[in-house]
Amino acid sequence: MTQLDLDPTNTRAADDTAAEPARLGRKRDHSRDADILDAAVDVLAEEGYDGMTIDMVAARAKAGKATLYRRWASKGELVIDAVACMKKDDLDLDRLPDTGTLRGDLIGMIKPRTLEEAEKKLQVMAGLMSVLARSPELSDAISQAIIEPRAEVNRILLRRAIERGEIAADCDVDTIALISPSMAAYRTLVLKKPVDREFLVSMIDGVILPAVGIRP
C-alpha cells in the first residue's frame, strides 16, 4: 500500500489560512469541498483506504482529478479531512433525551437516522483499520469523528444517572460507556449482522443495565 504522506513540510495545498494578498483571477469554489469530501467518504466506506483511488473520488464528485490536487496535497490529506468531516452529521450533545431514567435515555438514543450514520461510519473505520497503526493523525481523526461522540453520549447519560442516585457512584462509567459502541462494531464488521433496535434493546436490558446494578 502507499504511504500516508505525513511530512509536515508538505503543506496542505488547500491551506488558505495564510493572509490572502488579494489574488486576482477566478476564485476557488469552496462550495465543492463538501461534495468532494462526501464522495471520498462514500468511496472509503465501499473500497477501504487502499482500494480507494483519486479517480474514483473525482468521478463520484463529478470533479477533475486536478481539482482535488489543487485542494489537498495528497491522498492521505484528503482522507484525513474526509474522516474529520464525518463528525458534522453527528449527535447533538445539547439535545440528548432526558426521560428521568437511564433506560429511557438509552432507548431514546435509538433512532433510525442515527443507526444508518453509525453503520456507514463503521464501514469507513473498517476500511481504514490497516492504516490506523501507521498514522497517528488519521487515528485521531477516526477517534474524534467516529468513536468518541458515541462514547461521550453514553458517559453523559451515565453520569446523570449517578447524580440522580439511580445507579452507584462508583461504577466504571468509562468502561460501561464503551460496551455498546464496541459490541456494535463487532456485530457489524465481524458478524455482519444489522445493528437494529432489537439488538440495542437487548444490549441495554441484558448487559448495560445489569452491569450498573439495575435489575429488570
Q: Indicate whether 126 belongs to the interface with a second copy (CB under 8 A).
A: yes
Closest approach, Cβ 74 to DNA, in A, equals 4
3-state secondary structure of 154: helix
Considering only CA atoms, which of 112, 99, 113 is closest in space to residue 198? 112
Q: Which of DNA, a second copy, none does 63 bind, CB closer than 5 to 8 A by kind?
A: DNA
User: Taking CB under 7 A as the rule, does residue 64 contact DNA?
Assistant: yes
SS3 75: helix
Residue 104 interacts with, from DNA, a second copy, none (CB under 5-8 Å by kind): none
Q: Find the binding residues for DNA in span 74-113 (CB under 7 A).
A: 74-76
Write the binding mask 42 to 61 for DNA: x where contact by CB under 7 A, - elsewhere: ---------xxxxx--x---
Site string for DNA, 128-147 (x = CB under 7 A): --------------------
**Whether the Cβ atoms of residue 124 and residue 41 lie closer than 8 Å to each other:** yes
Q: In this structure, how many other beta carbons lie within 10 angstroms of the beta carbon of residue 72? A: 23
- The cell 468532494 sits on which residue? 36
Residue in the block written with cell 497517528: 136
203 binds, among DNA, a second copy, none (CB under 5 to 8 A by kind): a second copy
The site partner of 27 among DNA, a second copy, none (C-beta below 5 to 8 Å per kind) is DNA
Least distance between DNA and beta carbon 130 (Å): 13
- Please report whether residue 162 would count as binding a second copy according to CB under 8 A: no
For residue 182, the Cα-to-chain-centroid distance in whole angstroms is 13
How many CB atoms lie under 10 A from the CB of residue 171? 14
One-letter identity of residue 211: A
Contact 13, 71 (CB under 8 A): yes
Torsions phi, psi for 166 (to 5 deg): -75, -35
**Residues at the site binding a second copy, with contacts judged by CB under 8 A:** 1, 47-51, 123, 125-133, 139, 142-143, 147, 171-172, 175-176, 178-179, 181-183, 185-187, 189-190, 192, 202-203, 206-207, 210-213, 215
